[in-house]
Amino acid sequence: MSNAISGEKSVILVPQNLMEKKKEELKQFLTEIKELDFWKSYSEHKNFIIDPEKFSLEYWQSLPLSSKEDFIKMGLKERIRDAFKINTPDVIFNLILRATSGTIGSTNPVLFLNPVINSSNVFDKMKEDSVRVLTMQRSYMMGLRSALLNIIKCMRKKAAFETLIVNPGLGGISSALKEYSADMIVGLPQSFAKLAAEFYDRREIIKNVKKIKMNGDFLNKDHASLITDFFSGVKDLDMGIDYAMTEFGKVGTWCKYLAKRYHGNAYHPGRFFLAEIVDADPDGYGEIIVTKIIPRQLSLLRYCTGDIGKGIFETCECGAGVTLFLIGRKNFDYIKCAGALVVRKEIERAISIAAEDIEEWRGEVREHVRGREIVGELVLKLKFESGHGGYNEMVSIGDRISENLFLTPAETLKDLVDKKKFFPLKIELIKKFPDSPKKIMLRKII
């Protein structure tokens, strides 16, 4: 059975001056998708009827929310049948790879040496007939998926390319860069930052690189500064990261004005998507849900992203009227930081050893660049059941947490502090946490 929630009131992230046009667009959207096999099956399982004649914002907000499990368990066969109506094979394989993302085992490193045709827009500015791409992924499965998605895209720019997938955490990347002679590097910001820090004095290994493209995660200011310095000789340095999801692509668009004003994790909702915030707290933060409107055969209806965010109505210099802030994952249990893993349950275990009267806690994780080294930081905000013994007691509690909190299989926070890979633990006392139905226990600050 699906774990999707029933219909939920929401904040619809559409400027008032565009709302009437958007309502017409959504009504037409419902009119067309109700005839598709998947949505017929979906309506039956969810026990609701798509009725465009009843359309209003209130009706829209009464429609049930959907989840990834809905597409896998309740209608993947129908979904693929609808996709075939588009009549382009690459769309079918794209859908299958996205729908099964995370459900298969990891693969071994792979190198595509046979020339294939690719049209991805990351190659549009590259004039060569042949392009060598180095993809940095900590999961080879994700790297392979990315390479396959590029291979099967519709052909707009004919260029043969080769893709080498490496794991930046396993070493050997310098040999890959030197011997493979990549024209372009693709990867997460953390991978680029690690590469820049490790090979800062050996820039000759990237002398042939013409383009850098980042994807996936947040890019903080310290990382951006280090990466910009290291790759200063690269002509095309693309550090604009969209808010995208594996299941269906781009949700929010990067904007240079937002990047300058907010320094990251702020986006404009995509043109062919409708973003909403459900179950918002008094500060406006709630879960982001998204409707994908085009193409109809691959549409999504009020899809739960699992991300926590907030929308504000403001006029940007680019002309957009809405800004969407991405804060973190709902019920997020771990965060990667400076080569370590900060795990929620491990924090709870260490806190229980350090003190018995801690009523609530929240954690914030940051990465800093010290010199050319990436250094992690953990801040714990603690609320005690009763009074506490003051500064000395807080120091003692912090020391006990550091000694018992494992961030790698063999190293505690104290061990990493001694090795200068983490800053000493910071403890902040909190009298009362804000009331919120969504307690974000652990979040990464950029």
CATH code: domain of residue 175: 3.40.50
Q: Are residues 358 and 381 in the same domain?
A: yes
pLDDT digits over 180-238, tens only?
777 888 887 878 888 888 788 888 878 888 888 887 666 767 778 888 888 888 888 77
Q: Which of 259, 260, 223, 188 is nearest to 368 (CA)?
A: 223
| CB distance 309 to 322 below 8 Å | no
Q: Are residues 424 and 345 in the same domain?
A: yes
Per DSSP bridges, beta strands 373-384 and 358-370 are: antiparallel
Q: Are residues 229 and 117 in the same domain?
A: yes
Instruction: Note the pLDDT of residue 8.
Output: 53
| 286 within some domain | yes
Instruction: Note the pLDDT of residue 446.
Output: 65
Instruction: Note the pLDDT of residue 132.
Output: 73
pLDDT digits over 322-335, tens only?
999 887 777 666 78
Q: Please state the domain count of the chain.
A: 3
Instruction: Note the pLDDT of residue 28.
Output: 95
> Whole-angstrom Cα distance, residue 41 to residue 36?
9
Burial 429-444 (b: 16+ CB within 10 A, else e): eeeeeeeeeeebebeb
Does an H or E element contain 244, and which? strand 243-245
Does the pLDDT of residue 11 top 50, yes or no? yes
Instruction: Note the pLDDT of residue 438.
Output: 61
Q: Are residues 74 and 177 in the same domain?
A: no
- Using the 3D structure, point to which of 327, 352, 372 is the last residue of a domain: 327
SS3 assignment, position 198: helix
| 3 within some domain | no
Q: Are residues 310 and 340 in the same domain?
A: no
Does an H or E element contain 180, and which? helix 173-180
Choose the weakest-confidence range: 66-70, 108-112, 174-178: 108-112
> Whole-angstrom Cα distance, residue 446 to residue 366?
7
| 94 within some domain | no
Does the pLDDT of residue 3 top 50, yes or no? no
What would the DSSP string read from start to end of 7-57? ---EEE---GGGHHHHHHHHHHHHHHHTTSHHHHHHHHHHT----GGG-SH
Q: Are residues 200 and 131 in the same domain?
A: yes
Does the pLDDT of residue 37 top 80, yes or no? yes
Q: Which residues contact 249 (CB under 8 A, 6 or more apart)?
A: none
Beta strand residue intervals within 282-397, DSSP E: 286-292, 300-313, 322-329, 334-337, 340-343, 358-370, 373-384
Number of helices (H) and strands (E) in the chain: give both, helices first.
Answer: 14, 20
Burial 324-363 (b: 16+ CB within 10 A, else e): bbbbbbbebeebbbbbbebbbebbeebbeebbeebeebbb
- Using the 3D structure, point to which of 327, 360, 378 is the last residue of a domain: 327
Distances (CA, A) of 334 to 31, 103, 247, 364: 41, 19, 21, 11
Burial class (CB in 10 A: 0-12, 13-18, 19+), 388: middle
Q: Are residues 233 and 259 in the same domain?
A: no
Computed from CA positions of residues 226, 227, 231, 237, in that sequence, does the dihedral angle turn out positive or negative? Answer: negative
| CB distance 36 to 296 below 8 Å | yes
Q: Are residues 170 and 137 in the same domain?
A: yes
Give me the domain span that covers residue 178: 102-238
Q: Are residues 193 and 231 in the same domain?
A: yes
Does the pLDDT of residue 155 top 60, yes or no? no
Q: Are residues 321 and 339 in the same domain?
A: no
Per DSSP bridges, beta strands 426-429 and 373-384 are: parallel
Instruction: Note the pLDDT of residue 94.
Output: 58
> Whole-angstrom Cα distance, residue 298 to residue 248?
8
Tokens read off for 36: 């598709």
**pTM over cut 0.85:** no
Report angle CA 19, 25, 27 to the nearest 5 degrees.
105
Task: Categorise residue 154: left if φ over 0, alpha if ψ from -120 to 50, beta otherwise.
Answer: beta
Q: Are residues 204 and 126 in the same domain?
A: yes
Instruction: Note the pLDDT of residue 413.
Output: 94
- Using the 3D structure, point to which of 299, 327, 355 is the last residue of a domain: 327
Between residues 425 and 442, the one the model is more confident about: 425
